[in-house]
Amino acid sequence: MNRYLFFILPIWVCACLNLPTLARGAAADEQPTQSPESTAVEPKSNGLLKKLKGNEPSYFVYARDNNNSFDHIEFYLSVEYPMLEGPVHRLFGLNTDLYFNYNGKYDFYLEKRYSSPVISRQQNPGAMFEYRLDQPSYGLSTIKTGYFHESNGQTIDTAEDYATTENAQDFVSRGWDYIPLELKFEFPEKLPSFSFYLKGRYFLPKQLLMNDKEDTIFWDPSDDSKIEDYAGLSLLIRSQTLVDNRYIEGFKLAAIYRTGYTDFNLSQRYEATFRTLGLPLYIFYFSGYGNEISNYQERGYTLGVGVEFW
């Protein structure tokens, strides 16, 4: 049953994002029934669905990595929704917003494993406060901070269960809370447009709704790795432009560099999106530590090819 949920979820989200557009299109096709003297009144909408938007780029790809014995379909969904707009604007100004964010990643082993399971790789909900500078200084345009939880929604947390479970690494329980800080610098006047992001995460010793953070390598007591050795500091560089071409409408390039703040363990990710004939073709290559948070201390690579949603 869960394999069908994997396909239904992205379709439902995309439908929600496009419902207002579809509704306007349907209304435009209808012929007016009132007399010329009457005044047409457009139906009011609460605009709730219009406020749902993408946060990070979401994608659907066919992926291969060296830490897994099977190729798989990888789906990443990232959305945000504004909360308490009135109180936030009154307290902090119109150039601020408070968002609920959700980032989730899933792997689908279509006919590759028994029962074609969908494996939850990342569940990352949280609240993000955004402040936009009225007059950007040295390119700095936006500052964000908040409170987030990150986990993979799995269950194995003892060495005994790890030793007796098939594909045990997929089910190792991981979870921690962190406080993010993000600085966005953008230079839209450059061609192609250019932006970069400095991001930091401070991992808290305890989780808000649970106990201590889950990052110990419990199946190997000799490994004393911690998540802050491999993650916590990152740099994202992004460039995008439109192209006056019959077949290619535009392209976007991105490079992401990540390391820990208690040790230096570099990870790299490179992405390219080409919009051609209305289809956003997407490819990425990752090399470094912990493409999945269940094995954050292991070095590997992943290659994915597919489409990007936004």
Give the start-to-end residue ranges of the domains of the chain. Answer: 52-308
E strand residue ranges, 192-247: 193-203, 232-242
Phi, psi of 10 (to 5 degrees): -65, -35
Phi, psi of 159 (to 5 degrees): -65, -30
Three-state SS for 309? coil
pLDDT per residue over 108-156, tens digit each?
988 777 777 899 999 999 999 999 998 888 889 999 999 999 999 999 9
pLDDT per residue over 153-211, tens digit each?
999 989 999 999 888 888 999 999 999 999 999 987 766 788 999 999 999 999 987 78
At 194, which amino acid appears?
Answer: F
Confidence tier at 103 by pLDDT (50, 70, 90)? very high
Confidence tier at 71 by pLDDT (50, 70, 90)? confident
Tokens of 87: 């109180």
pLDDT per residue over 32-62, tens digit each?
444 444 444 444 545 667 788 888 999 999 9
Look up the CATH superfamily of 52-308. Answer: Phospholipase A1 (2.40.230.10)
As a whole number, mean pLDDT of residues 215-225 equals 93
Of the candidates 264, 260, 163, 172, which has an alpha carbon nearest to the alpha carbon of residue 217? 172
* Triad 227, 228, 229: Cα angle to 5°: 90
- Report the C-alpha gap between 307 and 75 in whole angstroms: 10
For residues 52 and 59, is the Cβ–Cβ distance under 8 A?
Answer: no
Model-wide pTM > 0.85: no
Q: Give the contacts of 46 (CB within 8 A, at least 6 positions apart).
A: none
For residues 259 and 233, is the Cβ–Cβ distance under 8 A?
Answer: yes
Any alpha helices (H) in the chain, and if so which ranges? Answer: 2-29, 48-51, 85-92, 159-164
For residues 309 and 59, is the Cβ–Cβ distance under 8 A?
Answer: yes
Q: What is the DSSP letter of 206?
A: B
